Amino acid sequence: MPLLSFKRLRAYIRRRTSKGSSARRKSPTFDNAALNRASDMPSPLAHNEVIQEIVMGAMGLIHGRDNVHISTSSPNGQKDIPTATPKPRRAFVEHFQSELRDKTMVPNAPGRQSHFRHNIECDGHNYRFSRVLGRGAHGVVRLAYDGSKDRPVAIKIIDRTQLLIDGVPVAKDEGEDGYISDICRERHALKLAGATGSPFLPTLLSFFQDFQYFYLVMPRYYISLSDRLEELRSLKQVMYMAELRLHAAEIVLAVEALHHYGCFHCDIKPENLMFTDHGHLVLVDFSLAEVGSGILEAGGRGTPGYIPPEALDGRTHYSGHAADIYAMGVVLLQMYLCPRQNDDIFNGNGDVTVSVKATWHHNEEVAGNLIQELMEKNPDLRIPMGVIKAHPFFHPTLDWCKVQNMECGPIRVPCASSETHHTRNFHSTVRHHSEVNGTMCT
């Protein structure tokens, strides 16, 4: 289904509300076909209760009448339905949003009575929604079950009504609905991630939408690298070099595959690195990803602490390639310093305050040297992707082909059957301490 066009709907409402418009003197009766032409919405959606109420409210605003009738030429012969008394313009926008929130559950408003559709059928798939896995700025990620494929999935539900002016998404400029373009960019980035064929990047299983939400269907992952670090901190344990080396290699391969396809993640952090059931890492959440040249506008894109210094030093643009490499360095630093808390690494503004060289462990200078090169403040001197794989931390200990083919057994595997978001969900696959300190992929 193509993206719904709100541009024509916005122009339609503004044209009819403009001062002196002859349209104000026309009859206030409209059929569903006219409404469909105005909003480019498929005909079945025009019979949706929420849309009918919103459109009737809009017609009340347009005509300045207390009661407006809309002809609903439904098969069962339903009669015209009167609307409530229209409100002033500002109040109408608030009423518009509140109507949506009352009729369908808005992800960011868990306290409201939910009329959210818990079952959705689309493209031969039957999705049954379950609990919320995480929340974002404009939506949530929900656990769902795909009955047609007999598998759990994660569905990112993005609320398209969060940024509205007169019921349409806020536009960045005259020719683009910015909010919708952000969704398109995320979808495009996810499709590129799947096209790489990398086992360390997610696959967009499906994408569909209705009047209020966009739905991005992705594989279900239960535990993040952040959970793993919290587990180690709670146990006051370090992350062994073999485990750190494998996780670092998988992150490098994921980012390398993305950059090869002209995609830059821009938000690499432990929370966005998820474990598969077999204990391998996958880089997720492409809501801030950039596709194209990789030249990003200044101001910083991402999470404080993982944004490179050059993004905040006053320059107009910076490299997405170098930014992802810097963020990788911060992630490796957190694994390297575990079980130290994040409060010991980041200050109140989210900036990295710890000196990498001052934290080198005994006989682990090679790992510390790699992190220092990844986090080089000068982007022109920062280690490039091609050189990372040849760094002594990886070479000759690691066999990159075996890592790419997932032939390297992970140190710990998450308990895939666990449905709770809990940190202690790993079990060790290592029997002896010597195996941990040894090489895994030679």
- Domains of the chain (ranges; CATH) run 7-103 (no CATH), 119-219 (3.30.200.20), 224-437 (1.10.510.10)
Mean pLDDT in residue range 226-252: 93
CA dihedral 408, 412, 418, 423 (to 10 degrees): -140
The predicted-structure confidence for 374-390, as pLDDT tens digits, reads as follows 999 999 999 999 899 99
pTM of the predicted model, to two decimals? 0.68
The closest of 214, 263, 251 to 331, measured between CA atoms, is: 251
Q: Do the Cβ atoms of 106 and 178 come closer than 8 Å? A: no
Check whether 156 is labelled as a binding-site residue. yes
The closest of 93, 261, 237, 100 to 165, measured between CA atoms, is: 93
Question: How much is the pLDDT for 340?
Answer: 81
Using CA atoms, how far residue 24 sits from 19, 95, 153, 366, in Å, is: 9, 22, 49, 75
Q: Do the Cβ atoms of 160 and 168 come closer than 8 Å? A: no
- Is it the case that residue 138 has pLDDT exceeding 60? yes
pLDDT band at 104 (very low <50, low <70, confident <90, very high): very low
**DSSP string for residues in 153-216:** EEEEEEETTSSEETTEEPPSBTTB-HHHHHHHHHHHHHHHHHHT--TTS----EEEE-SSEEEE
Question: How much is the pLDDT for 193?
Answer: 96
**What is the sign of the dihedral through the CA atoms of 258, 261, 266 and 267?**
negative
The predicted-structure confidence for 404-435, as pLDDT tens digits, reads as follows 999 987 767 776 444 444 434 555 544 333 33
Question: How much is the pLDDT for 15?
Answer: 59
- Is it the case that residue 65 has pLDDT exceeding 60? no
Q: Do the Cβ atoms of 255 and 322 come closer than 8 Å? A: no
Residue 360 DSSP label: P
Q: Do the Cβ atoms of 85 and 66 come closer than 8 Å? A: yes
The closest of 240, 248, 273, 198 to 391, measured between CA atoms, is: 248
The predicted-structure confidence for 164-207, as pLDDT tens digits, reads as follows 444 444 444 443 455 667 788 899 999 999 999 999 999 999 99
Residue 71 CA to residue 29 CA, distance in Å, equals 6
Task: Look at the chain and count its residues.
Answer: 442
Residue 58 CA to residue 66 CA, distance in Å, equals 12
pLDDT band at 255 (very low <50, low <70, confident <90, very high): very high
Interior angle at CA 135, CA 48 and CA 258, nearest 5: 100
Question: How much is the pLDDT for 364?
Answer: 75
Q: Do the Cβ atoms of 211 and 45 come closer than 8 Å? A: yes
**167: number of CA atoms within 13 Å, CB side?**
30
The more confident residue out of 115 and 313 is 313
CA dihedral 62, 63, 68, 72 (to 10 degrees): -60
